[in-house]
Structure 1
Amino acid sequence: GHSTQMIQMLTWIKKEFPSVEVIAGNVATTEGTKELIDYGADAIKVGIGPGSMCTTRIITGCGVPQLTAIANCAQEANKQNVPIIADGGIRNSGDVVKALAAGADSVMLGSVLSGTLETPGIIKGGKKLYRGMASRSAQDSWRGGVPEGLAPEGEMSWVPIKGNVKNVLNEFMGGLRSGMTYLNATKVKEISKNAKFVEISSSGFQESVAHGLK
């Protein structure tokens, strides 16, 4: 998202349709965030390679850990009151709390909603096809294959059917609300103000997940 093509398109849209709000991205740096805002972006989408089906960091060697990227981009966006959208890396409701704590104003969900009845996708044997849009399979569908000289940057997988989106989101919202109580946050904006990040060891991480299962 921090590219000449993006800047040119953003400039054109803002000139031709000044009242249209534009979400620009994806970026993962303070510099990228600042430049997109300078050229008129109304919101910034953050995330280079954190998606569950994304292989960008492996294929290209480029990317930034998502929480670090959110914190970096929010540092600049907050100066100009421009919202940050965290795109990728959300596996559970706790990840939503952490993303908001790092400075995101909202998050996008991909794998979390994969397998729900409302999502598009082929169903086989009680599972649903889920694929990254840069995967070979997806590119075969939407542009007739991976162009010569380029490489796919995504994978595909079959995920169990999860039921309705409503039920998945209801549980997610419950986790978010509970996280807010631990942070004494009555509003989403208070999460980043009240939260503090601490460094933990591998033992601390093991303690943080269910570890008594046999």
Structure 2
Amino acid sequence: MNEIEIGRGKRGARAYSLDDVAIVPNRRTRDPQDVSVAWQIDAFQFEAPIIGAPMDSVMSPATAIALGRLGGLGVLNLEGLWTRYEQPEKVLEEITSLEADASNAFNPAVTRRMQEIYSAPIQPELITARLEEVREAGVVVAASLTPQRTQEFYRTVVDAGVDIFVIRGTTVSAEHVSQNQEPLNLKQFIYELDVPVIVGGAAGYTPALHLMRTGAAGVLVGFGGGATGTTRRALGIHAPLATAISDVAAARRDYIEESGGRYVHVIADGGLGHSGNIVKALAMGADAVMLGTSLARATEAPGAGWHWGLEASHPDSPRGDRVKVGTVGPLEEILYGPSHHTDGTSNIIGALRRSMATTGYSDVKEFQRVDVVVSPYQAK
């Protein structure tokens, strides 16, 4: 590790964000149509390495179905509005109409009202109904709970017929210590389930390696909620994503050798609002990306141009804002084009194909070997 002296009493490793790195073309190029962006986890195959983040402004049962039909994976937030309200549309309309301040983000009155809205109890029968709605559409059923809620509701989720289970929190560790309650034993929990489990976030080699040892099928890298999260400001916690992905990819490599060949997928989560960062996340070693802001810009998105995460409504320590991201176009256009924007907000898969073709790689796994350089970004 390249440690530098911060001051006489503290040293730290130098870390890089995705904005700090750039992809370098090689001697070979390809036709973009010859490039495969397919992704497979466990027995489930997808046409694109795209996962819809379990955020109420991004994924409803309808948008999860739409994303599934477009070749991605939509993950439903089982602690969100669709499991708290029989008719969440009215609540969504209220959230999107709440008055913002001049920056279209922070407003204590908005946060207070969202805390009230999300204080409604989660209804197990609504968990079952929402997952059945997705299953009846014939797409892969994926759902998410935080570690704190997993033990309470996972049996309902499994009984409803989930295909992929996601445990997603700001930071998830394989060993949580608590003197107040029995912590979730991830290794035992994953062992007893009959479905692949994706767990995170993690942001370093050691915590990721421990998560892999629990039997997880995939590890989320990052803290999610890139555009909406305030974890850095509120808690002082931040992990530059280029370095984090590279470190977790190294843990995956070593775990393959340690386990005798078991492959755990690395999934970048957070701060991927434009196609260039999605491309660079895969180049740094990710197998897939979990998208919030990019998909929140779709005309079908429940947030209607607004974006927020579950952290924004935490009853005691909210660590997120409701942010205006605008609307770009239909979900299909955002993923596959044709694009009418030059800023990387639409035709995400087309951009990925073109980057892979320009650097000469034929699939995502090969593309993880692409050359990169450190090139700190200077905003204009």
Q: Which TM bucket (shorter chain)?
A: 0.7 to 0.9
> Which structure exhibits the higher relative contact order, with contacts defined as CA atoms closer than 8 Å and separated by 6 or more residues?
2
1:12 aligns with 2:188: yes
- When normalised by structure 2's length, the TM-score is 0.46
**Sequence identity (%):** 33
Tell me whether 1:89 sits opposite 2:271 in the alignment.
yes
User: Which of structures 1 and 2 has the bigger CA Rg?
Assistant: 2
Over aligned residues, Cα RMSD in angstroms?
2.1
What corresponds to 2:353 in structure 1?
Answer: 177
Q: Secondary structure at the match of 1:108?
A: strand
Mark the CA change 1:174 to 1:15 in structure 2 (over 3 Å): closer, same or farther. Answer: closer
In the TM superposition, what whole-angstrom CA distance separates every residue of 1:154-179 from its partner, at most 9, and x where no partner exists?
11122322221000011111111110
Q: Deviations over 1:125-165 (max 9, x none)?
A: xxx32112211xxx2xxxxx613xxx211111223222210
C-alpha separation in 2, matches of 1:15 and 1:188:
29
Rate the CA distance shift 1:50–1:200 in 2: closer, same or farther, 3 A: farther
* Correspondences of 1:61-72 after superposition (within 5 Å): 61-72=236-247
Partner residue in 1 for 2:315: 146
Residues 1:64 and 1:91: Cα distance change in structure 2 (over 3 Å): same
Aligned to 1:40: 215
Tell me the residue number matched to 2:324. 158
Query: Compared with structure 1, are the counterparts of its residues 201 and 130 closer, same or farther at alpha carbon in structure 2 (3 Å cutoff)?
Result: closer
Secondary structure of the equivalent of 1:45? strand
Tell me the distance in 2 between the aligned counterparts of 1:175 and 1:117: 20
How many positions carry a matched residue from both structures?
A: 187
List alignment gaps of at least 5 residues for structure 2: 1-171, 178-182, 257-262, 337-346
Q: Structure 1 residues 165 and 49, CA, compared in 2 at 3 Å: closer, same or farther?
A: closer
Q: Which residue of 1 aligns with 2:292?
A: 110
Q: Does the CA-based 8 Å contact 2:174-2:214 persist in structure 1?
A: no
1:167 aligns with 2:336: no
Unaligned runs of 5+ in 1: 140-144
In the other structure, the counterpart of 1:142 is none
Q: How many Å separate the matches in 1 of 2:357 and 2:275?
A: 14
> Hey, what's the Cα distance between the residues in 2 that align with 1:105 and 1:10?
22
Residue in 2 that maps onto 1:133: 310
